[in-house]
Amino acid sequence: MKTGAEVIEAQHSADTTFADADIRRDRDRFLRELLHELAGVLEDHVGLEEAAGYVARVGERIGRTMNNEYRDAAGTDRLDPTQVAAALVDLKRRIEGGFSVESIGEDEIVLVNTACPFGEHVVGRRSLCMMTSNVFGRIAAENLGYARVELEQAIARGHSRCRVVIHMHEGDAGLEYRRA
């Protein structure tokens, strides 16, 4: 058994040895890896559809919270389509996503993305796309009454970018969201 002094010396030695080591680990990278592995475990054990369902529930809760924050910031009870698009782009910017508005029309908002907030850890983890779908869907529906989110392209599915269409009218493609 080591004495207290020996333990302290060992800790100091370890700090000195590893402090300058080329180990790429910080909180952000750790959390991205954690989500990547968690999504992988879920996808492997309960299947992609069920894993996506779990992620969707988390996205719905986060979407409600973020919606309230953007409404408070705008000083309004409802955001209009332009404000919804701006809020969605802003929230992704804040978490290091690369979303921008491709178009805003009477029937849809189209957003494109060149940098996923999950970084390279999203590749092959399609269930994580449900975070975007549900956060976007919840915010759009709570403000516009209805949203149908279609993930036309996704980095997680191997595309070079994401293309998200938020339809404001019912249709066939995508997931539907309604004001609570």
User: pLDDT tens digits, residue range 27-76?
Assistant: 888 888 888 888 888 889 998 888 888 888 888 888 889 999 999 999 99
According to the model, what pLDDT value does residue 4 have?
A: 67
Determine the Cα–Cα distance for residues 54 and 126; give it in Å rounded to an integer: 12
**Cβ-based neighbours of 144, under 8 Å, separated by 6 or more:** 81, 84, 168
> pLDDT at position 162, please?
95
Give residues with Cβ within 8 angstroms of 32, minimum separation 6.
Answer: 118, 119, 121
Mind listing the pLDDT tens digit for each residue in 132-174? 999 999 999 999 999 999 999 999 999 999 999 999 999 998 9
* Res 103: pLDDT: 97
Distance CA 107, CA 100 (A): 18
Answer yes or no: is pLDDT of 16 > 70.
no
Least confident of 29-43, 81-95, 102-116: 29-43
